[in-house]
Structure 1
Amino acid sequence: MHEVELATRVLKALHQISADRGARVLEVNLRVGEINEPSSLRLWLKKLGGGEFNSTRFNIARVPILIKCKCGYSGEAKSLDTHMPEPELGIACPKCGGYGTLLTSGTELEIVNVKLEKGVQKRQMRKSR
């Protein structure tokens, strides 16, 4: 369940952006590799986001798993054994069936952009003498 760790990192970055700008996060566009299980990541972002990101919209662009194999195949992976400790070890080449593949895409996790709403800043009133 590395999605929990990934969601935590994204939320931490968003919290920092929000605090630095003094604004609420309305919408976030992410690029997420298929190895990072985008659907699960979305659920954890909502679950762990709690009150601060309760109304934040998370848009996720999925990045496919692309591989290169010693046999010459280069392209999208057709199957993935998600029970492997290292995801790239569980990717078989669709051409030769071998597991000696090189992962070239599919592990991305990128905050592309963030839409903010300016918050209302409270000002302390000074008492007149």
Structure 2
Amino acid sequence: MSMELELKNVHLRSGDKLKVKGEILHDAERFQIDLGCDSNDLALHFNPRFHDDTDGTVLVCNSKIAGCWGDEKREIDKPLQRGSDVKIVLKLSGDVFEVELPDGQEVQFPNRVGMDVISYIRVAGDFKLTSFKIC
């Protein structure tokens, strides 16, 4: 039972935070949080994958410009586990995105496209969203 939340015409600027809370499904393979101006132009595609590695999660970050994916940045990580309740905080800090994970660990991904206003947000996949806040 995967879900999807898609928001258009939002106004997330440098310094703003997006807080996403929810439960990673027990049989999760992956979920994603996308920030950009539409589904074909994403400054950040945050995509934890649970099927790639049995010892932990592979965190994949990428960008998409005019429908074309860039080079993936991959990190093996432990704080995201199937069946767990999590809070993930995403922050646009000018030339970099900061993603704070549940254990306080932070993943950084460059703002490759230099997007200074995020107008599109999508949360999708094997994730039960319980709270969503822009602050």
Give the structure-1-normalised TM-score: 0.27
Task: Name the one with the larger strand percent.
Answer: 2
Give the structure-2-normalised TM-score: 0.26
Task: Name the one with the larger helix percent.
Answer: 1
